[in-house]
């Protein structure tokens, strides 16, 4: 028998829901029947609607199921604890809390998002007389595109107009748009090897023939590309993923020449370019191109927030009519409020200030982590990639017990990530993200990591 308190501030149906839930977890087996709503209502002197509301909450959360005639039963999929549903990751991120340090490579410090400014601007936006009853512009708000074009011209050396920019909701969908509109004229797709395998997966899902082109100390090997007979190439020239190589100017020119001669297209993913710590940001390949062969991809995920879901495409001009014919052209991808807030955020100069701040913050963390790794791991490791972005990638150069490392990481409550997950299975490195850690946490985090690293070296 539960205690339902009519004078409590918690609504009755929530009290009942909480009590039944506890009861199910403690006392019920799969398939057990719950008392009928009528019975429960009379037992606790509640209205039938109150009971129904509690039961329906339990249904949607998967604790119970409703069967016609036979009433409510505790679910036969052992769906009592969400985290236990077979094979389902419900993504409520409960597990993250359990780690002392999480080295996730694409993450910013929680406090780094400019909440106060964003809030002020959002309120301004919502008080302005926008029309939320209509579809906004499918390509993205014109004024936001102007701001992005200005930024790209000034800071990334991208030569573009607002009319070439498409506002999108993230990398994967941007790539899917490209794969879709290009497939009537193209059927082959080259990607760096090692490279970012999400890019590959998207084009693969549209049935492109995929070629992997080796990356050497100058980035993508241009000769291999030339002999591959491929017409679209996806590259990360500013800070190659995952090796961190920046493509030298001579190779950039060769790549552009190739594209011109072959009438090929280059998809330049400007991945991490804003976060360079050892040199100035390297101007884009797009800005060097005089033949309209480059499509440029950028995102606000890495330097503003991965949770606001805003990225953009700078389309080559000759592809605009193709895009306009696609049905995607009519359909906006990002909420009007977010677009307008970002527009004013950029227009009022906050974006530039924020970039400077975030770059300084992460440079410090990068340098500190690098220094500590060298100090503590010495010549047992090779740094595979550093100098930019939100992670340092390392590999052991001594006999190493990977399985033990993973076990020890778990035991010591640090969460490690491996490049494999993002690169596919052929290439690996431990990806030590510093973006999500506070500067003050890094010494302790690396200290624990170093200890388990040393223990994992095979004697």
Which 228-267 residues touch a copy of itself, going by CB under 8 A? Answer: none
The residue with tokens 């929680």 is 110
Q: What is the 3-state secondary structure (H, E, C) of the chain?
A: CCCCCCCCCCCHHHHHHHHHHHHHHHHCCCCCECCCHHHHHHHHCCCHHHHHHHHHHHHHCCCEEEECCCEEEECCCCCCCHHHCCCCCCCCCHHHHCCCEECCCCCCCHHHCCHHHHHHHHHHHHHCCCCCCCCCCCCCCHHHHHHHHHHHHHHCCCCCCHHHEEEECCHHHHHHHHHHHHCCCCCEEEEEECCCHHHHHHHHHCCCEEEEEEEECCEECHHHHHCCCCCEEEECCCCCCCCCCCCCHHHHHHHHHHHHHHCCEEEEECCCCCCECCCCCCCCCHHHCCCCCEEEEEECCCCCCCCCCCEEEECCHHHHHHHHHCHHHHCCCCCHHHHHHHHHHHHCCHHHHHHHHHHHHHHHHHHHHHHHHHHHHHHHEEEEECCECCEEEEEECCCECHHHHHHHHHHCCEECCECHHHHCCCCCCEEEECCCCCHHHHHHHHHHHHHHHHHHECC
Min separation Cβ 295 and a copy of itself, Å: 17
One residue of 70, 133, 379, 403 binding a copy of itself per CB under 8 A = 133
- The footprint of a copy of itself on residues 168-207 (CB under 8 A) is 169-173, 176, 180, 183, 198, 201-202, 205-207
One residue of 35, 62, 157, 248 binding a copy of itself per CB under 8 A = 62
CA–CA gap between residue 314 and residue 50 (Å, rounded) = 54
Nearer to a copy of itself, 3 or 132 (CB): 132
Min separation Cβ 139 and a copy of itself, Å: 5
- The footprint of a copy of itself on residues 273-332 (CB under 8 A) is 301, 305-310, 320-321, 324, 327-329, 331-332
18 contacts a copy of itself (rule: CB under 8 A) = no
Nearer to a copy of itself, 62 or 283 (CB): 62
One residue of 335, 367, 380, 395 binding a copy of itself per CB under 8 A = 335
Min separation Cβ 229 and a copy of itself, Å: 23
Min separation Cβ 70 and a copy of itself, Å: 14
26 contacts a copy of itself (rule: CB under 8 A) = no
Cα torsion for 394, 397, 401, 402, to the nearest 10°? 30
355 contacts a copy of itself (rule: CB under 8 A) = no
CA–CA gap between residue 240 and residue 96 (Å, rounded) = 29
- The footprint of a copy of itself on residues 381-420 (CB under 8 A) is none
97 contacts a copy of itself (rule: CB under 8 A) = no
Min separation Cβ 88 and a copy of itself, Å: 6
Min separation Cβ 120 and a copy of itself, Å: 10
Nearer to a copy of itself, 260 or 376 (CB): 260
One residue of 220, 436, 445, 449 binding a copy of itself per CB under 8 A = 436
Nearer to a copy of itself, 180 or 218 (CB): 180
361 contacts a copy of itself (rule: CB under 8 A) = no
* Number of residues near a copy of itself (by CB under 8 A): 91
91 contacts a copy of itself (rule: CB under 8 A) = yes
70 contacts a copy of itself (rule: CB under 8 A) = no
Nearer to a copy of itself, 146 or 448 (CB): 146
The number of residues making up the chain comes to 459
Nearer to a copy of itself, 158 or 282 (CB): 158
Nearer to a copy of itself, 388 or 436 (CB): 436
Q: Kindly tell me the sign of the dihedral angle through the C-alpha atoms of 319, 325, 327, 331.
A: positive
CA–CA gap between residue 392 and residue 385 (Å, rounded) = 6
Nearer to a copy of itself, 260 or 438 (CB): 438
What are residue 102's DSSP bridge partners? Answer: 415
353 contacts a copy of itself (rule: CB under 8 A) = no
One residue of 135, 250, 410, 451 binding a copy of itself per CB under 8 A = 135
426 contacts a copy of itself (rule: CB under 8 A) = no
Binding region for a copy of itself (CB under 8 A) out of 43-51, 89-97, 237-245, 395-403: 89-97
One residue of 21, 28, 36, 56 binding a copy of itself per CB under 8 A = 56
């Amino acid at each position: 028998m539960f205690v339902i308190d009519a004078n409590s501030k918690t609504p009755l149906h929530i009290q009942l829901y909480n009590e039944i839930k506890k009861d199910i977890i403690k006392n019920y087996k799969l398939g057990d029947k719950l008392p009928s709503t009528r019975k429960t209502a009379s037992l606790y002197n509640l209205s039938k609607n109150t009971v129904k509301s509690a039961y329906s909450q339990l249904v949607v959360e998967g604790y119970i199921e409703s069967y016609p005639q036979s009433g409510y039963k505790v679910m036969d999929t052992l769906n009592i604890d969400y985290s236990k549903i077979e094979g389902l990751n419900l993504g409520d991120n409960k597990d993250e809390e359990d780690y002392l340090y999480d080295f996730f490579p694409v993450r910013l410090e929680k406090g780094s998002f400019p909440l106060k400014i964003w809030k002020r601007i959002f309120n301004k936006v919502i008080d302005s007389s926008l029309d939320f009853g209509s579809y906004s512009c499918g390509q993205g708000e014109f004024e936001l595109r102007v701001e992005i074009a200005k930024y790209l011209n000034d800071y990334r050396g991208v030569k573009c107009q607002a009319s070439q920019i498409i506002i999108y909701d993230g990398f994967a969908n941007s790539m899917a748009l490209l794969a879709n509109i290009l497939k009537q004229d193209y059927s082959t797709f080259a990607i760096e090897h090692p490279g970012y395998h999400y890019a590959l997966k998207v084009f693969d899902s549209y049935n492109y023939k995929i070629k992997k082109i080796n990356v050497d100390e100058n980035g993508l090997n241009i000769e291999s590309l030339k002999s591959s007979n491929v017409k679209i190439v996806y590259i990360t020239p500013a800070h190659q993923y995952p090796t961190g190589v920046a493509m030298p100017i001579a190779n950039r020119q060769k790549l552009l020449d190739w594209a011109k001669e072959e009438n090929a297209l280059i998809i330049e993913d400007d991945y991490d370019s804003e976060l360079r710590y050892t040199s100035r940001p390297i101007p884009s390949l797009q800005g060097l191109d005089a033949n309209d062969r480059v499509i440029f991809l950028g995102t606000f995920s890495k330097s503003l927030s991965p949770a606001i879901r805003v990225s953009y495409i700078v389309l080559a001009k000759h592809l605009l009519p193709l895009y306009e014919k696609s049905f995607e052209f009519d359909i906006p991808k990002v909420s009007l409020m977010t677009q307008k807030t970002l527009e004013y955020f950029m227009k009022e100069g906050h974006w530039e200030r924020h970039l400077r701040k975030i770059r300084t913050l992460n440079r410090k963390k990068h340098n500190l982590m690098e220094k500590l790794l060298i100090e503590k791991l010495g010549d047992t490791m090779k740094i595979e990639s550093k100098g930019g972005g939100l992670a340092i990638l390392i590999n052991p150069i001594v006999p190493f017990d990977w399985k033990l490392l993973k076990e020890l990481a778990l035991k010591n409550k640090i969460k490690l990530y491996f490049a494999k997950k993002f690169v596919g299975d052929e290439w690996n490195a431990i990806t030590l993200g510093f973006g999500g850690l506070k500067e003050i946490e890094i010494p302790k985090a690396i200290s624990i990591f170093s200890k388990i690293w040393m223990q994992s070296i095979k004697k």
